[in-house]
Chain A
Amino acid sequence: MAGARRLTAPPDAGHDTGDTLLVVRAAEGDEDAFAALVQGHAPVLIRLATRLLGTVAEAEDAVQDAFLSAWRRLPEFHGQASFATWMYRIVTNRCLNVLRARRPVVPLEAAGEMPAAEHATSPARITEARDAVRELREALDLLSAEQRACWVLRELDGRSYEFIADAVGISQEAVRARVFRARRCLTQALGAWR
């Protein structure tokens, strides 16, 4: 049901206990410990970055940069947040910068012609629903970097407004405003509105 909201899972479910030791060790220069952290956290972060940026290739670049930056900053990371939350924040910010650098992109009129990267091979029989998904994917490029980030974290990743505010570093109020604007823009783009 479209109206049923997903439960927002805590970002660290399950990870925390094992991470504590690994994080301390990595901060002290233990490369094996850091490798274990990378291996463990990469899948979730890749999914996040893919949703934010649109392609796996870009996501992998962003996540790789984020991990390198985390390695450099680990000695100053004193576990105020969990490692998962910390990484989530670094990746989000990294992706925001990528999105900002990407703009301005498509003028509104050209949005329809945007090649859907990675999805160019669509099956011959395109259902209406799949059409809507493709339109939505393209319409995401119409959003500002900040709108896109807030909207993706909310709608695709199912995060709470509080969590998003923390990850993006703005007030909850501002997050709500951005998600609202994004929804408005997207409903309009999908031709539903009006």
Chain B
Amino acid sequence: MTTHTDPPEGTRADGDDERLPCGRPLSQVWDDWERQVSDPHSATCPHCRHAVRDLEQLETAVAGLREETPETSAYDAEPLTRRVMDLVRLELRPGRPLPLGEPAEDLWIMETVAARALRSAAESVEGVSAGSCRIVDADGPAAGVEVRLDIHAPAHVGLQELAERVRRRVREAADRELGMVIASVDIRVTDLVDSGAENREGDTA
């Protein structure tokens, strides 16, 4: 695995440092420059100033190199995304089947498929975003599965009533779109979203 490695970790920066003719270690001079600290010596010492000038020359080239990489906004991520998703779909991620229809029908639906339908039902309620959606086969005497759904809800909305609306949509979708018998729907509000400023990107403190 390691074909070429540096000296072991913990090696001090001055392990292969060199001392300038004025007595200062080069690493210190560059470090001071980087942290923008100076003292009377470094301001006047020709050796220190020479060392800094060398680094500044490097930095000028670095600035040029940095500009060579195109802006991230110029990158079209679509082809890469498609390639990645093609590979992702080749992955056989084992999922859990959940019962469809009546208890002993031997008809099943994979959890990811059912979760997708239920999340999208929850999101049909305005301002709601769905997160985790776990569906477990309740193994009690009660027929049906238990749904545990996390949502982000809009702030300034009655949560009780909102949860009830989401629950109703989820039940409807489970019945109408899937035909999955639901024993219970557990809604957990994990975050409140200020509906006035949905896209708060950029105005972070």
Q: Which chain A residues have a beta carbon within 8 Å of chain B's beta carbons? A: 2-3, 5, 13-15, 17-18, 20-21, 24-25, 28-32, 34-35, 38-40, 42-44, 46-47, 50-51, 60, 63-64, 67-68, 71-72, 100-101, 103-104, 129-130, 132-133, 135-137, 144-147, 155-156, 170-171, 173-174, 176-178, 180-181, 183-184, 186-187, 190, 192-193
- CB-nearest residue of chain A relative to B2? A100
Q: In the bound complex, do residue A38 and residue B61 qualify as a contact, i.e. CB atoms below 8 Å apart?
A: no
Most chain B Cβ neighbours within 10 Å, of A14, A146, A190, A192 = A192
Give bound CA distance, A71 to B116, whole Å. 18
Are A2 and B112 CB-contacts (below 8 A) given A170-B9, A173-B10, A178-B6?
no
A-B contact pairs, 29 of them (CB 8 A): A3-B56, A5-B36, A21-B130, A24-B150, A25-B133, A29-B95, A29-B112, A30-B116, A38-B77, A39-B78, A42-B77, A44-B72, A60-B80, A64-B83, A67-B84, A68-B84, A71-B88, A132-B57, A136-B61, A144-B4, A146-B5, A155-B59, A156-B65, A170-B9, A178-B6, A180-B13, A180-B30, A187-B55, A192-B54
A133 lies within 8 A of B81 (CB):
no
Of A13, A72, A181, the contact of B16 (CB 8 Å cutoff): A181
Is A64 within 8 A of B72, CB to CB? no
B132 touches A28 (CB 8 A): yes
18 new A-B pairs (CB below 8 Å) besides A14-B204, A192-B53?
A2-B57, A2-B60, A13-B204, A24-B132, A25-B130, A32-B116, A38-B85, A42-B80, A51-B69, A64-B84, A71-B88, A72-B91, A137-B65, A155-B66, A156-B69, A171-B9, A177-B11, A177-B15
Q: How far is the CA of A176 from the CA of B36 in the complex (A)?
A: 16
Q: How far is the CB of B43 from chain A (nearest CB, A)?
A: 13
A residues less than 8 Å from B34 (CB atoms): 5
Measured CA separation A137–B27 after assembly (Å): 23
The residue in chain A whose Cβ has the minimal distance to the Cβ of B58 is A187
Collect the chain B residues with CB atoms within 8 Å of residue A133's CB: 61, 64-65, 68
Nearest CB of chain A from residue B85's CB, rounded to whole Å? 5
Q: Enumerate B57-112 residues with CB–CB distance to A below 8 Å.
A: 57-66, 68-70, 72-73, 75, 77-78, 80-81, 83-85, 87-89, 91, 93, 95, 111-112
Q: Does B42 contact A (CB under 8 A)?
A: no
B60 partner residues in chain A, CB cutoff 8 A: 2, 129, 132
Does B131 sit within 8 A of A, measured CB to CB?
yes
Q: How many A-B residue pairs have CB under 8 A?
A: 183
The answer to whether B4 touches A103, judged by C-beta atoms less than 8 angstroms apart, is: yes
* A interface: dominant SS: helix
Beta-carbon nearest neighbor of A189 in chain B: B58
Whether A35 contacts B85 by the Cβ 8 Å rule is yes
Contacts of A64 in B (CB 8 A): 80, 83-84, 87
Interchain CB contact under 8 A, B115 and A30 = yes
Q: Does B201 contact A (CB under 8 A)?
A: yes
